[in-house]
Amino acid sequence: MFSFRRSAGVLAVISLLSFGALAQSTDSSSSTPAQEQPQAPAPAPSQQGQQTVQARIRARREARRAQAIHDAYSHMYEVFVGGGYQRFTPGPQLQRTTMYAWDVAITRYWSEKLGLTFDARGNYGTAFVGLNETSLTRPAISHYDFMVGPTYRFRMRPKYSLAGSVKGGVAMSNFASDTNKFGTAVLGLYPDGTTYAINASLIGEVNVAPNLSLRLAPEYMATGFGSTLQNDLGFTYGFVYRFGKQ
């Protein structure tokens, strides 16, 4: 009897211990997923290295581009020497004639974009005046322009630039020198005199070197010979040399 009771007690203790161990195992297994946090997979070392190399290449490319722009457009002075073409009206009733010009200009820059331009040019052509009481039908004419105004670069690239310029000044005519003293009125030309000159141009330049470029600049020119307004179109072309540092 005593042996039976002792055996039953041992079995009861073993059962309690087994139940407690099973419950603890169940709690641990159920709590583990809640405590664990999913982690994003780390990028492969090869991908990280490739991105870093590409970023360094882009940075070096941008640095070279910025340095090339600075080398080309950080000069203090710019000298332009070239020629010009203009369709000019020499008299109130005369047809337009072609004027060919020499043009010299110097620009003083205070930044890579903004400068002040001084421009001097001479324009030469032959006016067709038609039949008249003289024997002259194609007298040679000329006028000279002296202007000043701002120039602004609105696009700068290592190989080219675009700029705009507006200038004003005076124009002096020489229309009577080839009239054999008949005068300009007989031939229908504007009288000689000094008047205003207004110029607006779009300047395109292609860089040959950081301090040397080729220029082509379509332009509009307004003058007031004969107390009337002449609206003329043309262009200038030539070489630009830059020097000095801002």
- How many structural domains is the chain composed of? 1
CA distance 93 to 128: 11
Asked, for residue 155, whether it belongs to a domain, the answer is yes
Residue 188 falls inside a structural domain = yes
By the 10 Å C-beta count (0-12 exposed, 13-18 middle, 19+ buried), 235 is classed as middle
In a domain, 191, yes or no: yes
Q: Cα dihedral sign for 150, 156, 159, 160? A: negative
User: pLDDT at position 19, please?
Assistant: 46
| Residue 96 located in a structural domain | yes
- Contact between 200 and 166 (Cβ < 8 Å): yes
In a domain, 107, yes or no: yes
Does some domain include residue 132? yes
Does any domain span residue 237?
yes
The dihedral built from the CA positions of residue 52, 54, 57 and 58, taken in this order, carries a sign that is negative
Structure tokens at 66: 């910025």
pLDDT of residue 30: 47
171 close to 144: Cβ distance less than 8 angstroms: yes
Tokens of 8: 């039953």
Show the tokens assigned to 101: 């010009």
Q: 238: which strand partners?
A: 82, 215
- CATH number (domain holding residue 158): 2.40.160.20
What's the domain range around 104?
62-245
- 196 CB-contact burial (10 Å; exposed 0-12 / middle 13-18 / buried 19+): middle
Helix (H) or strand (E) segment spanning residue 184:
helix 184-187
Q: Going residue by residue through the chain (246 aa), what tens digit of pLDDT does each one get?
A: 444 455 555 555 455 444 444 445 554 444 444 445 555 555 556 666 677 878 777 888 788 888 889 889 999 999 999 999 999 999 999 999 999 999 999 999 999 999 999 999 999 999 999 887 888 899 999 999 999 999 999 999 999 999 999 999 999 999 999 988 888 888 999 999 999 999 999 999 999 999 999 999 999 999 999 999 999 999 999 999 999 988
The closest of 105, 101, 103, 104 to 118, measured between CA atoms, is: 105
Helices and strands (H and E) in the chain: how many: 3, 8
Does 74 reside within a domain? yes
